[in-house]
Amino acid sequence: MKNVKLPIRTTTLLAEVVQDMDLPAMSDIAVQLVATLSRDEVDLTYLRDLIARAPSLTASMLRWANSPIHGYARKINTLDGAITVLGISKIRASAIAFFITNTFETPHGIDRDAFWKSSMQSAGYAMWIALAVGLNESEAWLTAMMVRLGELVILQFDPSAPDVPALSPLPVRQRWALQRERIGFDEGDVVSEVAKLWFFPESMVEALSKCAKPLDFMAFSPMSAVLHLALILGDFESINEDTLKTLPTDLTAKLGIQLDWLAQHIPEHVIFAA
């Protein structure tokens, strides 16, 4: 990749920079899985046979299906059983996330376990909020899982900068602000361009590009608001009334979420990290 002059000034230039990067290639199976996201219906047999082509993915899906979080008493031993327990949308999202997390390497200076734990927590809250407001919870989970990939891509713009990896542990709102100051765009903007190259649905691309500033656009994307709240919630060490009061109330109101209801029902993030 040729040298990039920072900050990047326009979305057109950002798209050109991302296209010029040596991004990791998605496997053929992952590409076919992503293609099914745009379909209204997906054949169960097709999905099962696609996942079965990758033994490591199959093993991962069976572990996920047998996770205590699902509360299923009997051991699941087959992909058909896993799909029955999780549902097509959830197992497809989990399968795509499996490839994403194994495709991107975390650079030196970033704690891989902490990075993906944070992503999992945010994805869990995105799924939970999406379900509460009537959006597609599997799409919300997968899209939230992808947001911080933009952070890894940003590191390729200027990998020698010592302060860039240091942004990773920062609270997300602070990280977004510093990214925009340094890069010209935030991680959501950046990964939305990657999502375009990988042919993710437009709804996901839009939500990624707007998630750091969901109220700054004339066309409101509810999914971007869900992502915004979920990434903030994923930062909290504990969920309580005081931490929930720091959420942007204009955004919760836009989604029709009452903070008192949230305080009574929202789970601790340990359930999602598990």
Per-residue pLDDT of the chain (274 residues; tens, 9 = 90+): 567 788 999 999 999 999 999 888 889 999 999 999 988 788 889 999 999 999 999 999 999 888 877 767 788 999 999 998 889 999 999 999 999 988 888 877 788 888 888 899 999 999 999 999 999 999 999 999 999 999 989 888 765 555 555 566 788 999 999 899 988 999 999 999 999 999 999 999 999 999 999 999 999 999 999 999 999 999 888 888 889 999 999 999 999 999 999 999 999 877 776 5
Contact 83, 234 (CB under 8 A): no
Q: What's the number of CA atoms in the CB half-sphere (13 Å) around residue 274?
A: 11
Residue 117: the pLDDT is 87
Q: What is the pLDDT of residue 40?
A: 79
Q: Which CATH number fits domain 1-24+107-274: 3.30.70.2190, 1.10.3210.10, 3.20.20.70, 3.40.50.920?
A: 1.10.3210.10
- How many Cα atoms sit within 13 Å of 237 on the Cβ side? 2
pLDDT of residue 163: 58
Please give the pLDDT value at position 2: 60
Per-residue pLDDT at 196? 96
pLDDT at 158 (0 to 100): 66
> Residues 206, 224: contact at Cβ < 8 Å?
yes
Residues of the chain within CATH 1.10.3210.10 domain(s) are 1-24+107-274
CA 78, chain centre distance (Å): 27
* 237 Cβ contact list (under 8 Å, min separation 6): none
Q: Look at residue 120 and give its three-state secondary structure.
A: helix
User: For residue 227, which of 145, 150, 113, 115 has the smallest C-alpha distance?
Assistant: 145
pTM: 0.92
- Identify the pLDDT of residue 245: 92
